[in-house]
Amino acid sequence: DAMVIQNPRYQVTQFGKPVTLSCSQTLNHNVMYWYQQKSSQAPKLLFHYYDKDFNNEADTPDNFQSRRPNTSFCFLDIRSPGLGDAAMYLCATSRDYRVSDEQYFGPGTRLTVT
């Protein structure tokens, strides 16, 4: 009954080698979010989609891109991972833009950069 699924759960990539993380949802929610969480830090929003409308955070590096080909799937692409990009990446969804809409999180993908 998993509602927000992230694959893979663990990803190891080499410095500079492009990597893609995926997220899928069975909730049919309009909004999908990507967060980066480094050790002992708060989850930090990278960007989000409302349907197909992409919303980038001002301080998200250009190295991070995202795609949402349909309602159910969203991808995070890191074009040239650096050692500083090692982190847990969390995908979340919400039904809409309402303050009462809670965010549903996936289990996360832990990215290691060697």
The distance of closest approach from Cβ of residue 35 to other proteins in the complex, given in angstroms and rounded to an integer, is: 8
9 or 67: whose CB is closer to other proteins? 9
Residues lying near other proteins in the complex (CB under 8 A): 4, 40-45, 48, 50, 55, 90, 92, 94, 97-108
Specify the residue, 21 or 81, whose C-beta has the smaller distance to other proteins. Answer: 21
Q: Considering the complex, what minimum distance in angstroms separates the CB of residue 15 from other proteins? A: 27
> For 74, how many CA atoms within 13 A lie in the half-sphere containing its CB?
30
Smallest distance, other proteins to C-beta of residue 28, A? 18
Considering beta carbons, is residue 28 or 100 the nearer one to other proteins? 100
Nearer to other proteins, 13 or 37 (CB): 37
Contact 21, 12 (CB under 8 A): no
What is the nearest approach in angstroms of other proteins to the Cβ of residue 29? Answer: 13
| Nearest residue to 73 via CA among 27, 19, 112 | 27
Closest by Cα among 70, 76, 77, 90 to 30: 70
Distance CA 10, CA 16 (A): 18
